[in-house]
Structure 1
């Protein structure tokens, strides 16, 4: 999985591609926590090029969302489609996240 982050006008754009399993989820979590600790609060996670997310990946996204809310921030998920979109709907996480 490839993880790229870009600061666009104070929002952190997180571009993901590939599949997110346990190892990749841990890397993503660490990157986003470091950004939060350095003062960033607004995150847009682009899922356009993500083919699969396992349960640990979903768990990391939920943990990041919870942490962002604690610091009055937000996490928006963009571009989920196919199997990834179905996973969010089946787990009802589409009700937890702002999804576009």
Structure 2
């Protein structure tokens, strides 16, 4: 998985590309650091270019949700597509995380 970020006045946005899987656990730390450093009210994860997510990747989303929630930051997962959207739907993450199609 690769990612890039931008910061606006009220949001930190992260664009994920490639595959989010178990081997990306170290990269998760980099994203958690973004949450820790953020002064924004929203943390947006754009998945429109993410091709695949495994169960560890779904778990990483839950970790990010906990991190943002503990800092009173609203996390939004934006534009999951194809198999990524199906995996998120099957895991019923929409009950915990805000998903924008």
Residue correspondence of structure 1 range 42-81 to structure 2 within 5 A: 42-81=42-81
User: What is the TM-score of this pair, normalised by structure 2?
Assistant: 0.88
Q: Say if 2:31 is the partner of 1:38.
A: no
User: What is the TM-score of this pair, normalised by structure 1?
Assistant: 0.89
Shift of 1:26: 2.9
3-state SS of paired residue (1:44): strand
Output the aligned Cα RMSD.
1.4
Task: Report the CA distance shift for 1:76/1:84 in structure 2 as closer, same or farther (over 3 A).
Answer: same
Task: Report the CA distance shift for 1:65/1:95 in structure 2 as closer, same or farther (over 3 A).
Answer: same
Aligned-partner Cα distance in 2 for 1:78–1:36: 17
Aligned-partner Cα distance in 2 for 1:48–1:78: 7
Task: Report the CA distance shift for 1:92/1:8 in structure 2 as closer, same or farther (over 3 A).
Answer: same
Aligned-partner Cα distance in 1 for 2:85–2:92: 10
Aligned-partner Cα distance in 1 for 2:92–2:43: 20
3-state SS of paired residue (2:31): helix
